[in-house]
Chain A
Amino acid sequence: MRSALDIARDVRSGATTAERETASSLAAIRERNDELNVFLFVDEEGALGAARRVDERVARGEEVGSLAGVPIALKDNLCQMGVPTTAGSKILQGWRPPYSATVIGRILDAGAVPMGKTNMDEFAMGSSTETSAYGPTRNPLDVDRVPGGSSGGSASAVAADMTPLSLGSDTGGSIRQPAALCGLVGVKPTYGLVSRYGLIAFASSLDQIGPFAKNVTDAATLLEVIAGHDPMDSTSLPEPAPSLVRHVNDGVAGRRVGLVRELFEGADDEVVAEVGRAATALRDAGATIVELSIPEIHLTLSAYYLIAPAEASSNLARYDGVRYGLRVDGDDVAAMNEATRTAGFGAEVKRRIMLGTYALSAGYYDAYYGQALKVRTQLIDAFRRAYLETDLLLGATTPSVAFALGEKTADPMAMYLSDVFTIPTNLAGDAAISVPFGVGRAGLPIGVQLLGPGRSEARLFAAARVLEVADERS
């Protein structure tokens, strides 16, 4: 499939039409969706309508945006008005949101064509897309393996050449981890850079929406479109979207890159080797590599698995069978609430709600949730110190290449550990990007991770581009 940038250029020039690009995306979806279970809903009618509107704008000589006629897949926790949205849960089966997320308005304004909603771990709780109530998604590169998660459907859509772009959400690595396992570029933006309005909440102090793409420039183009202040999200940064595409080829000359021991220790040898190769590639491009240790990272997995479930237990209290979604009858309201939630939530969601409820309950609040919030402070301070002597950090995205379907489903702790390198960025509120670098076992892709302080996206894209070029040459 051609890049998003090429498609948009050709749609604007009239060399192709949005309708033709959309039809070709629909054909690609039809070809493999039954096998891979990528889309939970394919919005054929809506996509063709949106494409025709783009073509009409082009025909009228209007300025059509940077995503003119580009098909895009949307994770199913993004509300799109009138389009079925389930967040991978039975509790929202059949729900059609009465409004659209801010990011959807922005991509439509830029000329993109939303193709439908992609599969995900239920309420984004998982690292393999196997907790979806609608069955797992398969990795297009090896159908016996997981695509990662929770945004596994959005990753697979791009990896299977169904769409050149997709949107996911990242609470503890849910964009970067599947990007790594599917050989894509995936970005977790700075907290507040992208509006969360219309994103079904999991852990509100950690959630961010971000892009998947096959290359760095396409990812930067999409992030530039969706970023920028939104009055509908009170946590949105009060500034317009930064220029990103313009800086993609800035390089890394003179940059100080911290190679962080805790961000690759314990990973498979082949992953560690690629992180080392990435450090060399950055040094060859003019960066200085500084070896660093940030021991606070060791505590972040524990802190995350208290903070995220605590916030989730509160956010998911709204699924009570009253205003939307499933209702299972009961004799009174409390019985109806309980019957609805028991039938509507899957095992992983119940585990996290219970964990969060426990961590917040009287007698345990200080020992668990309170301590986790203090660990979060210590991690933020540790990153701040690291960024006094570096411009960005380098590590692995995941401990291994894509694992087999079913390999970790019986052992929640093993599944949680697959996010050990991505979680610190969410707790810090910083930005990070996963970029494909090298291949491992059975030719499966490996991702390396670049991390930066808040608002460092332009710098991260420039470094990611250096790695992309180095990887193409090797």
Chain B
Amino acid sequence: MTSPLRREDVAKVAKLARLSLSEAELDEFTAQLGQVLEHANDIAALDLEGVVPTAHPFGLINVVREDVRRASLARDDVLAMAPDARDGRFAVPRIMGEAP
């Protein structure tokens, strides 16, 4: 049903998860994750047609409250914990490349 985990699958997943792995880590993770997935194959192989999936123990329902203003966290307190903040904002490295 599912093919064994390959090294290039692990490399791709690392990229998606924004992690960079060394060559040694790639080998180690391929073996370890493969082992867990092998264990998981017992459920991947089950015929569960028609069973309703449960994402949450009691089923999530929307919870609403009155639309009243209330205090939020103080901006300066929050920004004080940021790695970099300028002019009342979180600061990050450039997002856009140089104009061509």
Contact = CB atoms under 8 A, between A and B. Distances in A.
Contacts of B16: 357, 361
Interface string A353-393: 11101110100100110111111111010000000000000
Given A351-B32, A374-B52, A98 B78 contact: yes
A187 interface: no
Given A357-B17, A428-B57, A326 B9 contact: no
Looking at chain B's contact residues, the main secondary structure is loop
A192 interface: yes
A441 to B, nearest CB: 28
Contacts, number: 165
How big is chain B's contact interface, by range?
A: 35 or more
A332 B94 contact: yes
B84 interface: yes
Interface of A: 95-96, 98-99, 191-192, 205, 231, 234-235, 299, 301-303, 305-306, 313, 320-327, 329-339, 341-342, 345, 347, 350-351, 353-355, 357-359, 361, 364, 367-368, 370-378, 380, 412-413, 416, 427-429, 454
Interface string B19-58: 1110001000100110111011011101010011111111
A377 B53 contact: yes
B43 A302 contact: yes
A380 B21 CA distance: 38
Contact of B93 (A313, A333, A361, A454): A333
A302 B57 contact: no
Interface string B77-97: 110011110000010111101
Contact of A354 (B19, B42, B63, B97): B19
A367 B57 contact: no
B43 A299 contact: yes
25 contacts: A95-B81, A98-B78, A99-B73, A299-B42, A303-B43, A306-B40, A322-B92, A332-B94, A335-B93, A337-B18, A342-B19, A342-B20, A342-B21, A354-B13, A354-B17, A354-B19, A354-B29, A361-B16, A368-B43, A373-B53, A377-B51, A377-B53, A378-B48, A380-B54, A412-B36
Return the 4 tightest CB-CB contacts between A and B, nearest first.
Answer: A429-B57, A373-B53, A327-B83, A374-B51
B33 A313 contact: no
B57 A380 contact: yes
Contact of A364 (B2, B29, B46): B2
A438 to B, nearest CB: 31
B75 to A, nearest CB: 10
Contacts of B56: 205, 235, 429
Given A334-B18, A338-B18, A374 B57 contact: no
B83 A367 contact: no
A205 B55 contact: yes
The residue in B20, B29, B32 that gathers the most chain A C-beta atoms within 10 A of its C-beta is B32
B31 to A, nearest CB: 10
Given A355-B36, A374-B51, A429-B58, A341 B93 contact: no
B46 A322 contact: no
Nearest to A313: B17
B99 interface: no
Contact of B57 (A99, A191, A326, A331): A191
B19 A371 contact: no
Contacts of B1: 367
B93 A336 contact: yes
A361 B2 CA distance: 13
A55 to B, nearest CB: 29
Nearest to B91: A322
A191 B58 contact: yes
A305 B36 contact: yes
A358 B35 CA distance: 14
B13 A357 contact: yes
A371 B81 contact: no
Contacts of A428: 57
A371 B40 CA distance: 10
Given A326-B83, A353-B19, 10 more contacts: A305-B40, A336-B92, A341-B19, A354-B29, A367-B1, A372-B43, A375-B46, A429-B56, A429-B58, A454-B57
Contacts of B81: 95-96, 98, 323-324
Contacts of B77: 98
Contacts of A347: 25
A264 B16 CA distance: 39
Nearest to B38: A413
